[in-house]
């Protein structure tokens, strides 16, 4: 998170004695990223956060790759991913490379009898359907349709859903996910030309604190294995923290689109960045207003990045036969563009209601077996007249 946040009780000076009313100590934890160079948080715990009791199981959740190398454009019908009861079981990796994984999930129930921690990757969870509460060791975030939830690696969490009807689009990133640097000044404050500002980024305001001992199962993902570790103290035992490393939420509906007289390129939609991919938000907006403007995008050759678009809502002007929940994959190396008739259809239109999330990766993505289960193998011919 690009700015400072404080929640709960903390001592006036870091790394000093901090005592409970009964005279016992609270236990401090420095939780840093990128060694000691990145964003960090100092949290204060009822019990020592190191009390491992048991390592029960270890099993792989590595995605099964169907196509290591592909130059075929694809459409994947995301809503054909079957709902599953358990949150972790429901997560299906459809595209992956050494930097990131793109995951679809339709979990039916909240996490009940375990906690989850991803040590491999930051998680960007886009809520397509569903409402509920993300509960973390560093505070809770309510979520609803259109929210991005950013969970930095290592944050222990649970997720509560209000109903069984949930659809998530998740990006796991081995590189830290930040807001774009070009929208921040030298102190990190979001600038006037940024399409969102600090008020749009929701920080945790509610902290759940339990001082409990017992058997607490944390499923920890490391190197694509899940380790089932039992801790002797409740993972949500933080009485307070401060710093920059904590989960936050941002609604796609709060993204203020940048428009122009002629077609604006995808970077104006950029919402998040890493050094391995970008995430862009395509939101309802006025179209280009030059008298001879062509609102549909031009054909473009993304020669060195794979383009993944996740269609959320509205009418997708440049594509024929695309519905909510679909993903298009336009791989690096070949040009793509509007479908036949879409360019002509766009002329004279004044606005779009489209809502979509785009992930452009700098390394090619591998197509998984889960992806092929929901793939349209004919999509690559859809530009033929």
Show contacts with Fe ion in window 289-348 (CB under 5 A): 307
Report, in Å, the least distance between residue 318 CB and Fe ion: 8
Report, in Å, the least distance between residue 336 CB and Fe ion: 6
Region of 48 (left: φ > 0; alpha: ψ -120 to 50; beta: rest) is beta
Asked if residue 371 lies in contact with residue 320, where contact means CB atoms within 8 angstroms, the answer is no
Tokens of 134: 């993300």
Q: Which residues contact 228 (CB under 8 A, 6 or more apart)?
A: 55, 56, 57, 58, 114, 217, 218, 219, 220
Residue 117: helix, strand or coil by DSSP? strand
**Binding annotation for homogentisate:** 336
Q: Which residue has the tokens 């401060």?
A: 242
Nearest CB to Fe ion, comparing residues 196 and 316 = 316
Show contacts with Fe ion in window 125-154 (CB under 5 A): none
What CA–CA distance (Å, rounded) separates 4 from 10?
Answer: 14
Region of 23 (left: φ > 0; alpha: ψ -120 to 50; beta: rest) is left
Q: Half-sphere exposure of 166 toward its Cβ, with a 13 Å CA cutoff? A: 32
Report, in Å, the least distance between residue 328 CB and Fe ion: 8
Catalytic residue among 5, 15, 45, 263: 263
Report, in Å, the least distance between residue 159 CB and Fe ion: 32
Question: What is the side-by-side strand order in the sheet with 225-233?
Answer: 52-60, 225-233, 213-222, 115-118, 157-161, 132-136, 139-143
Using alpha carbons, select from 198, 197, 241, 237 the residue that is nearest to residue 48. 237
Report, in Å, the least distance between residue 158 CB and Fe ion: 37
**Cβ neighbours around 308 below 10 Å, total:** 26
What CA–CA distance (Å, rounded) separates 327 from 310?
Answer: 5
**Binding annotation:** 300, 306, 336
Nearest CB to Fe ion, comparing residues 149 and 343 = 343
**Binding annotation for Fe cation:** 300, 306, 336
Nearest CB to Fe ion, comparing residues 288 and 307 = 307
Number of residues that bind Fe ion (CB under 5 A): 1
Cα 79 to chain center, whole Å? 18
Q: Which residues contact 348 (CB under 8 A, 6 or more apart)?
A: none
Report, in Å, the least distance between residue 68 CB and Fe ion: 23
Whether 339 sits among the annotated catalytic residues: the reply is no
What CA–CA distance (Å, rounded) separates 42 from 217?
Answer: 23
Partners of residue 217 on adjacent β-strands: 230
Contact positions toward Fe ion, by CB under 5 A?
Answer: 307
Active site residues: 263
């Amino acid at each position: 998170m690009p700015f400072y946040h404080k929640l709960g009780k903390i001592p006036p000076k870091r790394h000093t004695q901090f005592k409970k009313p009964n005279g016992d100590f609270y236990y401090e934890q420095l939780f840093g990223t990128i060694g000691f160079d990145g964003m960090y948080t100092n949290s204060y715990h009822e019990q020592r956060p190191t009390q491992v009791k048991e390592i029960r199981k270890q099993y792989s959740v590595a995605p099964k790759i169907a196509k290591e190398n592909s130059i075929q454009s694809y459409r994947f019908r995301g809503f054909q991913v079957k709902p599953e009861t358990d949150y972790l079981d429901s997560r299906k990796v459809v595209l992956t490379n050494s930097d990131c994984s793109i995951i679809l999930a339709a979990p039916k129930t909240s996490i009940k009898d375990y906690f989850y921690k991803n040590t491999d990757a930051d998680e960007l969870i886009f809520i397509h359907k569903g409402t509920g509460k993300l509960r973390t060791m560093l505070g809770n975030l309510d979520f609803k349709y259109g929210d991005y939830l950013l969970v930095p690696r290592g944050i222990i969490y649970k997720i509560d859903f209000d109903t069984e009807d949930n659809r998530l689009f998740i990006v796991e990133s081995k590189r830290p996910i930040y807001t774009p640097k070009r929208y921040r000044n030298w102190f990190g404050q979001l600038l006037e030309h940024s399409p969102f500002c600090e008020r749009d980024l929701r920080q945790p305001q509610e902290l759940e604190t339990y001082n409990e001992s017992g058997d607490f199962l944390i499923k920890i993902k490391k190197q694509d294995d899940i380790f089932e570790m039992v801790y002797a103290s409740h993972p949500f035992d933080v009485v307070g923290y401060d710093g920059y490393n904590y989960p936050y939420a941002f609604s796609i509906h709060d993204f203020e689109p940048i428009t122009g007289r002629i077609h604006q390129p995808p970077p104006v939609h950029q919402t998040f960045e890493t050094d391995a991919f970008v995430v862009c938000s395509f939101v309802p907006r006025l179209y280009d207003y030059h008298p001879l403007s062509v609102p549909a995008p031009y054909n473009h050759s993304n020669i060195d990045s794979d383009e993944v678009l996740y269609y959320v809502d509205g009418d997708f002007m440049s594509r024929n036969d695309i519905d909510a929940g679909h993903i298009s994959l336009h791989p690096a190396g070949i040009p793509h563009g509007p479908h036949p008739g879409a360019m002509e259809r766009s002329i004279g239109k004044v606005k779009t209601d489209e809502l979509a999330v785009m992930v452009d990766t700098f390394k090619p993505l591998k197509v998984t077996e889960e992806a092929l289960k929901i793939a349209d193998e004919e999509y690559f011919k859809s530009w033929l007249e």
